[in-house]
Structure 1
Amino acid sequence: MATRGRSRSGSTGTRSRNQRAGRAPAGEGIIPVLARAVREVEAGVGRGRKSPSIRTKYQTVALLAREERARVKEDAELSEPQRTEQLKRLDGIGTILAKTAALDTSLLSLLAEDAEVSDAAKELKREMLAAAGLELPDEPEEPEETEPAEAPASRQVVPQSVISRTLANPFLPPQFHLERRAPQTHRLAGWELIGPLLSSFERASSGASACMDLPEPTTVPLPEGMSLMRHQAELVAAAAEGHRTFLLADEPGLGKTAQSLLAAQAADAYPLLVVVPNVVKSNWAREARMWTPRHQATVIQGDGETVDAFADIVIVNYEVLDRHVGWLGDLGFRGMVLDEAHFIKNKSSQRSQHVLQLSERIRARAGRPLLMALTGTPLINDIEDFRAIWQYLGWIDEKKPRAELMDALEETGLTPLDPGFFPAARSRVIDMGIVRRRKVDVAADIPARRVADLQVELDDEAERSIRAAERELVARLVAKYERAIEARDGESAAEGIDHDLVRRIAASEREESAKSDENVFAMMRRIGQAKAGLAADYAAQLAHSVGKVVFFAKHVDVMDEAEATFEKRGIRYTSIRGNQTPSVRQRSIDAFVNDPDVAVVVCSLSAAGVGVNLQVASDMVLAELSWTDAEQTQAIDRVHRIGQTEPVTAWRIIASRTIDTRIAELIDSKAGLAARALDGSDEEIAQSADLQLETLVALLTEALSS
């Protein structure tokens, strides 16, 4: 403690490091250090920089400012004028932090109480404290490397058939000849690399490829009547040649399920574990019977009483994984497929912990298992969504690249200080197994699609009620803003709108209304209910004129209203809902696809947005708005996929003269993140901001401008 805790303000090394970094001279105190750092962040964000180092510095300044404020308030040795002066200076730093976050709202996530503090931020914090001449906290001892801790489990079960399989084959020794090795790293030892690797995808230039080199297709043994497209056969050939990790990010509708099942067959990766959302379990079993009929598939339901532990393919859904993670880790899987892999983007969730634990245990036993992550929407909000998927695939661990990726980075001869590092690093990550193909490039026979907004007029009573609620919300926001301006105690009023204050007012409103019925989400539900009948009427017209129609909604009452409308019109329909059993769900899909008299399928966005093939229709109605462009795209891709022969039109129903139109614009503005990171598009990367907050900001800004 004496050694690590003493002041380092007199250290020559510290002084020189501070001078090189442009920091305050040692001993000047923490506030000047923070002031200089926050100005650097403000300037960087103002120039459009969104690098990991800027984010790290932003979070570190915020943490230290928070700690310093608490210390100043509690310091009994300070006189009241001294305390007031220091708090005023800290307020200035806080103001700059807030204005910077207004320019890049993704920074707000770094201020959350549960926000993860990276090793880089911890090191920068120590450097700032040293530059200020303050005592440094003890460094925690480096823990010894151990096997990953068991993920928490609410209720572990071991099905009887699993016990039978274990007794039948009790010896499943690890494959020591495939034991993992340590990376041969020298030049990059000590560098923080995860941030730069993620940043390399943000910096992708226009047209940059996001797909590893794939071999020429070879003959793939297929069941009678089945065939593969060229892009599917290329991935299977890669697995046959020995590649073992894939982030398969093909656009929805390009047959990722078939590719993964046949890749497992080519790699002889049995037994194979497949982890999927609940709504697609039956579809996976069905696809396995179609594409790999010689390999029996079994589905884990509930506690697994009916599971066949001797099957080659074991399918389990995320929702019950906690009950089975123990025996699944010991069964001896040689392959694992993760469907809708973006489900694990929150690494602190129990779901993600279970998946990461299983992949680690499978690697430990099998050495080089086949690991596949499937997602048509790899980036929902943020480039950070890649992190958990890369860890599942074994490309990185919590802090650094693993051996294979590290060796590839070493071979570039570059460090993150070199401008050429980022495109080279991105290329090395892609070579680890990122496979991204677009319909326009590999499936020319799939017709075009378009999203058409259809403005509808709500009936007078509903429109009056909704607009009154909207006016009340806007008036409440404006009143809060005006009170805040008046409370500035004579400070000179800034010209124009104080956008920083607008964002703070919006955030305050969001927090206060979260537990009440008067919020943007509740208002959108009311709008959905009000336009349900109109949307169903339009779907009925389409059914009479063009044939089969897919109807999507978010809420059960909207689906109920639509089905009642179809009943009145004498239109036969079926529905796909979240509370259906797998067999009922499949019967509904089969009825719509195969029965010419069933004209409409009414679908829940959450239950039917993935794993459903409805390309028998080419027109669909989106009765309610999604809260992300990705959710909307997934719904459209139930129709716009391999097998579609007609141009696809998605009719998005918008309630005119309501907040519906504003939110539609905001949702559209969020599109493009995956295109930029994976497809090298020039589209602007959307901020990972809360849409409700952005809606409130837009409403208040518009009101103040009028």
Structure 2
Amino acid sequence: MARPGRRQTGARRTTPRRDRRVRHDGDLVAVLARTAREVEAAAARGRVTPSVRTRFQAVALLLREERARVQAAPGSDGSRAEQLKRLDGVATVLATTAVRDAGLLALLGEDAVVTDAARSLRREILRDLGVEPAPEEPAPAPAEAVPAGPDRRVVPQSVVSRQLANPFLAPDFSALPQRPARPRRLAGWELLGPLFTSFERAGAGAPACMDLPVPTSRFTPAGLELMPHQGQVVAAAAGGHRTFLLADEPGLGKTAQALLAAEAAGAHPLLVVVPNVVKTNWAREAARWTPHRRATVVQGDGETVDGFADVVVVNYEVLDRHVGWLGDFGFRGIVVDEAHFIKNKGSQRSRHVLELSARLRSLGRTPLLMALTGTPLINDVDDFRAIWQFLGWIDDDAPLGELLDALEDTGLTPADRGFSAAARQCVIDLGIVRRRKADVAADIPARRIADLPVELDGPVGRSIRAAERDLVRRMVAQYETALAARSSGTAAGEVDAELVRRVARSELKDAATGTGENVFATMRRIGRAKAGLAADYAAQLARSAGKVVFFAKHVDVMDAAEEALARQGVRYASIRGDQTPRARQASVDAFTTDPEVAVAVCSLTAAGVGLNLQVASNVVLAELSWTDAEQTQAIDRSHRIGQTEPVTAWRIIAAQTIDARVAELVDSKAGLAARALDGSDEPAGAPNDVQVEVLVALLTDALREAAGPGDLAAV
């Protein structure tokens, strides 16, 4: 029987979709092949929508299941081989299609999260073939999702001290007036699906950005200046807005916006949850933009945590150990950086972040909640789900509070034609902020360098710091020997600057002609240690802002970076000094013309000149140059005629190592070449200038830290 209200024409009958049986002659492989070709055609047109990804994943699931069934089924070897050959043909189509889109490639991974839509489509295909799907067993919880046991949880001693210093109990907000109940016109409607779909169907380039007020600089510390687009978010927080999905492109200063928004909202103490690679940078930026606030970084089990800090920075990887005391700390705001890390709601880190947010909102306050990501969507609009839940806009089943009220106020239901656009705007107005570099080009300089300090932890970091100490001890010994051989000695406690410089030059000469552990070997080891972190950051940039140029000095650093990119499914072009001109041009062409090639991994010396890579506006400098000129040449591969966006160069710097010294000294020499060209008598800097100055600085610091000449050997 047809549905009520449906018109029947002749003998044709319309039946509910769930009851239809499409005739496929029982040939599952033919259905999979046809669907795979449809996905391939969509990818070739650049139209990889969420529904296309759903079909892709459903085919991949059925392909694996059918292969396992054929291999286990009785029958002749010839028949089995023929079936497997057909399945291999479908698998080849999927594989060649996946290389066109990083999101599709991620769906082929063994750890890819299977969406509900893909499971539903899989069941529908099987039923259309007359096969009743077997009941699905619940997927086993991944290892990451196992909660940390009581023996794993820690409470830093300084946090215990803070708790003891505050004898007051947490306030009881149960008596606060509740939101008045409203008649719910949308009661009974399923709303989350239409809300997500409203973003999938957003057309005509409709911007996803809330209306923002006039920018303010009232909370900016003296000596610093906010760009206008940054000041708008701070002004919104000052005006009472408390939830933000801040999805600006990389390079637009989301960190400063979040820190000053917390200042404007009075949201201290503030919890900041970040990836490990940017943890050190957040602490540094907190000290810069809110210098009157104490910031602390949670490392390992938290032995060094300052329990009285105003800003607590913790990385996702150790959140499981600290979620207990973090929930009781009394935070008034949470910032989640690279918020797409929590998109898998079954993961441990996602559950912990959502738990902290829910606990903070349950106290009856209106906390500041900010999700920062340049990549709010990776595979599907469903990636919004966890982020919106963190912000308190939805729960597992329905919109909450302010969002539900806004949907009610539209006067529409999901059955109405204008609901999709109105619902999308309701969500945007809750706090979605998205600006591109091109949108705010007038705000930012055409070319700028942003330093990203990283911590080198573990055995590698300890080994590098030990090598630096050995280098310093060797120079101290040389200095002491030369000092003792003098007929007229230097006064006790004084450092002979000329002698220090001679020792540094001698060490540099030995390093240039010898082997073993020296300043050049140490810098190379630092480069290798940073390679994975730098590649991870380049991958993040590529996903959120488009093509990225990645520079390194050494071949082994390039190799390590390329391996890290390959593991993440990021396609790259390699531009090296040992390539033939033809191979080199092929790599350049692949990067500049193929939309799927996201990163150009370049040799700093071989690719630093003579190339036009202005298709990218983000440059990652994984290893530092000894001169500002070489660094500038590399950046100018992107910052050149034809570039339509401001260029940001991200220098990855190993904190608390010689790497940081090199960065400071290169910057101090940056103006020499320009002054020389303008007629100054001061010569332009050369590589060995910085190399000598680095050694001079290391030796001088060691000598000054010593209590006296007799204690120098203890350095």
TM range (shorter): 0.5 to 0.7
Shift of 1:189: 1.5
1:65-111 Cα deviation digits (max 9, x unpaired):
432333234333x5778757765665665566567557767434333
Match of 1:205 in 2: 204
Q: Where do 1:515-664 residues align within 5 Å?
A: 531-533=603-605, 553-554=621-622, 559=624, 578-581=653-656
- From 114, 137, 159, give the equivalent of 1:117: 114
The letter of the residue matching 1:580 is A
Match of 1:6 in 2: none
1:133-175 Cα deviation digits (max 9, x unpaired):
33343367999xxxx9846899543211211222233622564
Shift of 1:234: 2.8
* CA shift in 2, pair 1:323/1:75, >3 Å: closer
Q: Counterparts of 2:99 and 2:670 in 1: how far apart (Å)?
A: 53
Match of 1:159 in 2: 156
Match of 1:272 in 2: 270
Q: Counterparts of 2:82 and 2:399 in 1: how far apart (Å)?
A: 46
Q: Retained in 2: the 8 A contact 1:60–1:125?
A: yes
Unmatched segments (≥5 aa) in structure 2: 1-12, 450-561, 580-599, 611-617, 632-649, 675-715
The letter of the residue matching 2:158 is S
1:196 aligned onto 2:194: no
Q: Retained in 1: the 8 A contact 2:219–2:263?
A: no
Shift of 1:272: 0.9
Give the 3-state SS of the residue equivalent to 1:373 in structure 2: strand
Q: Counterparts of 1:102 and 1:514 in 2: how far apart (Å)?
A: 11
1:619-647 Cα deviation digits (max 9, x unpaired):
xxxxxxxxxxxxxxxxxxxxxxxxxxxxx
Q: Retained in 2: the 8 A contact 1:298–1:313?
A: yes
Give the 3-state SS of the residue equivalent to 1:298 in structure 2: strand
Q: Where do 1:25-424 residues align within 5 Å?
A: 28=26, 34=32, 41=39, 49-76=47-74, 94=91, 97=94, 101=98, 106-138=103-135, 150=147, 155-169=152-166, 171-173=169-171, 175-176=173-174, 177=176, 185-186=186-187, 188-189=189-190, 192-193=193-194, 196=197, 199-200=200-201, 203-206=202-205, 208-217=206-215, 220=218, 223=221, 228-276=226-274, 284-285=282-283, 287-289=285-287, 291-318=289-316, 320-341=318-339, 354-365=352-363, 368-375=366-373, 389-396=387-394, 404-405=402-403, 408=406, 423-424=421-422
1:495-552 Cα deviation digits (max 9, x unpaired):
xxxxxxxxxxxxxxx99x989xxx98998597799954467899xxxxxxxxxxx996
Shift of 1:293: 4.9
* CA shift in 2, pair 1:220/1:526, >3 Å: same
Q: Counterparts of 1:338 and 1:101 in 2: how far apart (Å)?
A: 30
The letter of the residue matching 1:260 is A
Match of 1:460 in 2: none
* CA shift in 2, pair 1:153/1:232, >3 Å: farther
Q: Counterparts of 1:579 and 1:447 in 2: how far apart (Å)?
A: 26
Q: Retained in 1: the 8 A contact 2:154–2:301?
A: yes
Q: Counterparts of 1:271 and 1:247 in 2: how far apart (Å)?
A: 20
Q: Retained in 1: the 8 A contact 2:296–2:309?
A: yes
* CA shift in 2, pair 1:446/1:93, >3 Å: closer
Q: Counterparts of 2:148 and 2:73 in 1: how far apart (Å)?
A: 42
Using structure 2 for the length normalisation, give the TM-score. 0.54
1:436-474 Cα deviation digits (max 9, x unpaired):
3345555636443599xxxxxxxxxxxxxxxxxxxxxxx
* CA shift in 2, pair 1:262/1:181, >3 Å: farther
Shift of 1:267: 2.1
Shift of 1:431: 1.8
Q: Retained in 1: the 8 A contact 2:334–2:369?
A: yes
Q: Counterparts of 2:34 and 2:438 in 1: how far apart (Å)?
A: 49
Q: Retained in 2: the 8 A contact 1:153–1:323?
A: no
Which protein has greater RCO, CA pairs closer than 8 Å, 6+ apart?
Answer: 1
* Length, aligned pairs only: 494
Q: Retained in 1: the 8 A contact 2:339–2:387?
A: yes
Match of 1:23 in 2: 22
Q: Retained in 2: the 8 A contact 1:247–1:372?
A: yes
The letter of the residue matching 1:266 is A
Q: Retained in 2: the 8 A contact 1:23–1:36?
A: no
Structure 1 vs Structure 2: percent identity of aligned residues?
55
Q: Retained in 2: the 8 A contact 1:246–1:433?
A: yes
Q: Counterparts of 1:86 and 1:552 in 2: how far apart (Å)?
A: 47
From the CA coordinates, give the structure whose radius of gyration is larger.
2
Q: Retained in 1: the 8 A contact 2:209–2:432?
A: yes
Unmatched segments (≥5 aa) in structure 1: 1-13, 452-509, 539-549, 567-574, 601-706
Give the 3-state SS of the residue equivalent to 1:16 in structure 2: coil
Q: Counterparts of 1:552 and 1:141 in 2: how far apart (Å)?
A: 42
Shift of 1:28: 4.9
Match of 1:638 in 2: none
* CA shift in 2, pair 1:348/1:152, >3 Å: farther
Shift of 1:335: 0.2
Shift of 1:409: 5.2
The letter of the residue matching 2:237 is A
Shift of 1:115: 2.0
Shift of 1:264: 1.6
* CA shift in 2, pair 1:121/1:281, >3 Å: closer
Q: After alignment, is 223-232 or 320-329 more displaced?
A: 223-232
Give the 3-state SS of the residue equivalent to 1:54 in structure 2: helix
Q: Counterparts of 1:41 and 1:182 in 2: how far apart (Å)?
A: 47
- From 428, 431, 455, give the equivalent of 1:430: 428
Using structure 1 for the length normalisation, give the TM-score. 0.55
Give the 3-state SS of the residue equivalent to 2:15 in structure 1: helix
* CA shift in 2, pair 1:533/1:393, >3 Å: same
Give the 3-state SS of the residue equivalent to 1:311 in structure 2: coil
* CA shift in 2, pair 1:403/1:101, >3 Å: farther
Q: Counterparts of 1:361 and 1:181 in 2: how far apart (Å)?
A: 22
Give the 3-state SS of the residue equivalent to 1:337 in structure 2: strand
* CA shift in 2, pair 1:595/1:61, >3 Å: closer
* CA shift in 2, pair 1:534/1:378, >3 Å: same
Q: Retained in 1: the 8 A contact 2:198–2:421?
A: no
Q: Retained in 2: the 8 A contact 1:334–1:366?
A: no
* CA shift in 2, pair 1:348/1:231, >3 Å: same
The letter of the residue matching 2:229 is H
Shift of 1:54: 2.9
1:578-614 Cα deviation digits (max 9, x unpaired):
54328x77766665666777889xxxxxxxxxxxxxx
Q: Counterparts of 1:100 and 1:564 in 2: how far apart (Å)?
A: 42
How large is the Cα RMSD of the aligned pairs?
Answer: 5.4
